[in-house]
Amino acid sequence: MTNKTAIRFLISMCLISIHGISLAQKVDNTKNEIILSELNFAELASKSSIKQAFEQNLDSTGVIVNGIKIVNGLKAYAAITSDNTARLVWYPTYASMNVDRDFGFTTGPYLFYANKGEKPDATGNYFSIWKKDKNNIFKLIFDGGINHTKIRNDYNIAINEASTKFTALKTEAKTSISTPPRLQTTDDAVPYLSSKVVTLRADQPVLFGKKQYQQPSAQMTYVQKISGYDKSGTIFYCIGNLSNNAQEALQNKFQGYYVQVWRFEKNWEIVADVIQLIK
């Protein structure tokens, strides 16, 4: 694979690798494992390579997004060579973790530079889901995000002056077998939104709260590809594609992808909602 092809491939996978300052120094006094996992991942990317950082942090079942295709991350990175000409800078401005401290997600702004020292070629907000493996180490089970259609120069400030807001995903023990509803369309999500839902959309900052939630301009059909729970069974995540309607979904005609994180607190509710559409 050529260097230019590799760069395009990295961009399409939502650019979630890091090269730059010693980010871990910004939170060296924190005890929050999920934030430290993100920042240590960043350190490895800056000191070695994007490829090595991903290969050491992805779970064997972890997935990434190539364009709008949802693919196994380790297999995808095994197919490319390291490239040291590109630079990607980002910072987790928001993180959330369950009470057992073994599952959570982070999000924040990124800037991508095809060539170091030049102006950014892309900006957006990343979204990563982390889960502890059998060795009690946080591993990525999803890495993706949303890409803006225009360069956001203010993201330099967002990253250079970044801090991380953290919340705990409080849940309640389920007294009986309960699973989240299998939603058919994007309109179906609205009644299940948490009052503090985190929303990621193209050309928008990370949005917080039900009042800021943005539905797609037209109803779309969910095509769920991957799903799972934390160990307690009270946090659920699902990842899939979006189609214009049910017929196109059956034909595998996709217009984007989505990610949702749910929690159980008396009832199931959506605490994070990510949608990236083809522009």
217 and 104 part of one domain: no
Instruction: Judge whether 24 lies within some domain.
Output: yes
pLDDT at residue 253, as a whole number:
96
29 and 130 part of one domain: yes
**Residue pair 269/194 in contact by the 8 Å Cβ criterion:** yes
pLDDT at residue 56, as a whole number:
93
Instruction: Judge whether 179 lies within some domain.
Output: no
**Residue pair 259/241 in contact by the 8 Å Cβ criterion:** no
252 and 147 part of one domain: no
218 and 263 part of one domain: yes
The whole domain housing 88 covers 3-169
Report how far apart, in Å, the C-alpha atoms of 190 and of each of 1, 110, 183, 215, 228 are: 43, 28, 10, 8, 21
Domain count along the chain? 2
Below-70 pLDDT ranges, the chain: 1-31, 45-46, 83-86, 116-117, 155-162, 174-177, 279
Which uninterrupted H or E stretch holds 64?
strand 58-66
Instruction: Judge whether 178 lies within some domain.
Output: no
Alpha-helical segments (H) within the chain: 3-12, 33-47, 50-57, 73-78, 155-160, 246-250
Q: Which amino acid belongs to residue 145?
A: G
pTM of the model: 0.86
39 and 161 part of one domain: yes
140 and 226 part of one domain: no
67 and 143 part of one domain: yes
Distance CA 105, CA 119 (A): 29
CATH number of the domain residue 72 falls in: 3.10.450.50
Instruction: Judge whether 248 lies within some domain.
Output: yes
**Residue pair 96/270 in contact by the 8 Å Cβ criterion:** no
pLDDT at residue 220, as a whole number:
97
pLDDT at residue 176, as a whole number:
65
Query: Tokens for 253?
Result: 């005609």
Q: Of the candidates 169, 199, 218, which is a domain's last residue?
A: 169
pLDDT tens digits for 29-85?
345 899 999 888 877 766 777 788 889 999 999 999 988 899 999 999 999 887 666
99 and 133 part of one domain: yes
What angle, 0 to 180 degrees and rounded to 10, lies between the N-to-C axes of helices 33-47 and 50-57?
150
Q: Please, which residues have CB within 8 angstroms of residue 157's CB and are 6 or more apart in sequence?
A: none
Distance CA 260, CA 161 (A): 28
Instruction: Judge whether 94 lies within some domain.
Output: yes
